[in-house]
Structure 1
Amino acid sequence: MDARLRRVNKEIADCKNDRTSNIRIELVDNSPFHLKGSFPGPEETPYEGGNFDVDIVIPPSYPFQPVKMKFITKVYHPNVSSASGAICLDILKDAWSPVLTLKSTMISLQSLLCSPEPNDPQDAEVAKHYMTSKTSFEDTARYWTEIYAGGPGSRAAKVASPGARDEVAIAGLDPQHVTRFENLGFPRNKVIDALRRLNYRGGNVSKITEDRVVEELLKP
């Protein structure tokens, strides 16, 4: 058994034997080098009550090269791509150290949900939302946790049905703002996309004229 496989097997066993961390690791397609990790959302955050799955790939030179991780569960967070699940975290790049383990790295991901870094974002639109209105951001993150991560009042079982999702809430927008521009004759989905791109939220609303929104809506 090579050193990489021994190390990975030990780390998986450590996670299984640790009943306090709530970090779970399982094989994907029986491969010890492709794993799925999961952890509960941290308490007193918009992610509380959710369960978050992470895709983990062990590189050939592990532990001297960082593991590759991305969220499988959709997360609304400045340092996580809302489209791909890619993560902006220093220990997954140049701050990696061979002393880090699967468990400690997963715990760092859990901590990232507690402490967003909007000045070093993976998702610029979400970071703008966070900096414009933290309350609105948290409402949106909480809604994503509800529909994608099985959070309190979960609608995860219904999410496959488009009618079960509130696309305005997913985008973190005020329904009245969306209705206002819908009433001008623009399709709902186009209004949502335009207002999201413009970060039409919180204090920004008074800074963005109706003409500017219409200009965005008229773009092909």
Structure 2
Amino acid sequence: DLAGGGTADFPTVCCLWACRAVHFLHHLQERGQAKLASGSSKAMANPRSRLLTELREVQKNPESDIELNANMDNLYSWEAVLSGPKESPYEHGRFTVKLVCPPSYPIHPPKVTFKTQVFHPNVNFLTGEVCLDILKTDWSPAWTLLYVCRAVIALLYAPNAESPLNCDAGNLIRSGDLRGFRSMARMYTRELACGHMTQRQIDECSKAMVAGDGRTAFDGVEGSGGGSGG
């Protein structure tokens, strides 16, 4: 139990996070493929047409935790504001992310970078670079920018410490010090991603999370003695 100063079983933690992330991303991919299957093949061949289609869809069906907007002077450049996922150290934070599509989009993936600094093993703290498989080898033209944002939120919820871009964050998780990782991630979220909140609101949220009222995704594996997480 980390509350007692111990460490969690790292393989168990990795397995739990991986299962959650894979299930969620597969669900998103199925939704993306189904939606695009009903669209025009011309949108796939014409990047600008495809991006306009995505923009209309985002404007028609806005998401409560994702504000996704295109730069109308350059349709290949988008910006999103993502709400930190509940039950994670990033809860209550709002993170600005830049998405830049290549001329070959959607055949090739967009480049995604955090403009808001975030303490996370798969995000470079200084440059905002994101390490995410679907933005590299696992990319599919079926993915939209909205679903890329969903995948980034899923990554915040379920980090992968095996090949970290932020070694400090990765080492805390790999060593089993989930409490230390969670504390650092919350601190940076509070300092860098809560500008939309008053200081009183920030303090109240921090107290609630420390007291255990805002349990995170990592608490499910704590106190399990290395067994199956809850």
TM-score scaled by length of structure 1? 0.65
Q: Secondary structure at the match of 2:108?
A: coil
| 3-state SS in 2 of match to 1:111 | helix
**1:148 and 2:189 equivalent?**
no
SS at match of 1:26: strand
Query: Who is 1:49 aligned against?
Result: 92
The CA deviation at 1:135 is: 0.3
Length, aligned pairs only:
155
Is 1:110 equivalent to 2:110 in the alignment?
no
**CA distance in 1: counterparts of 2:105 and 2:197, whole angstroms:** 40
Q: Give 3-state SS (helix, strand or coil) of 2:75's partner.
A: strand
Q: Is the 8 A contact 1:48 1:151 kept in 2?
A: no
Q: Deviations over 1:86-117 (max 9, x none)?
A: 01100110110000000111000000001010
Q: Is contact 1:47-1:145 (8 Å) kept? A: yes
Equivalent residues in 2 for 1:51-200, closer than 5 Å: 51-132=94-175, 133-150=177-194
Cα drift, residue 15 of structure 1 = 1.8
Q: Name 1:7's counterpart in structure 2.
A: 50
Q: Distance in 2 between matches of 1:153 and 1:102?
A: 27
d(CA) in 1 for partners of 2:111, 2:166: 18
Determine which structure has greater relative contact order: mean sequence separation of CA pairs < 8 Å that are 6+ residues apart, divided by chain length: 2
Hey, what's the Cα distance between the residues in 2 that align with 1:112 and 1:27?
A: 23
Deviates more, 1:103-112 or 1:120-129: 120-129
Tell me if the contact between 1:51 and 1:150 (Cα under 8 Å) persists in the aligned partners.
Answer: yes
Amino acid at match of 1:86: E
State whether residues 70 and 87 of structure 1, in contact with CA within 8 Å, keep that contact through their aligned partners in structure 2.
yes
Query: How far did 1:48 drift?
Result: 0.4
In the alignment, the residues of structure 2 paired with residue 68 and residue 83 of structure 1 have an alpha-carbon distance, to the nearest angstrom, of 16
Alignment TM-score, normalising by the size of structure 2:
0.63
Task: Tell whether the 8 Å contact from 1:40 to 1:49 is kept in structure 2 after alignment.
Answer: yes
| Amino acid of the structure 2 residue aligned with 1:148 | L
> Contact 1:27–1:36 (CA<8 Å) still a contact in 2?
yes
Residue identity matched to 2:108? Q
Amino acid at match of 2:107: F
List structure 1 segments (4+ residues) > 3 angstroms apart after TM superposition: 151-155
Higher-Rg member (1/2): 1
Name the SS for the 2:163 alignment partner.
coil
Give deviations 1:148-190, integer Å, cap 9, x for gaps: 11179766xxxxxxxxxxxxxxxxxxxxxxxxxxxxxxxxxxx
- Identity rate of aligned residues, in percent? 32
Q: How far apart are the structure 2 equivalents of 1:108 and 1:31?
A: 24
Unaligned runs of 5+ in 1: 156-220
Query: What RMSD over aligned residues (CA atoms) do the two structures have, in Å?
Result: 2.0
CA apart distance, 1:34: 1.0
The answer to whether the 8 Å contact 1:15/1:23 transfers is: no
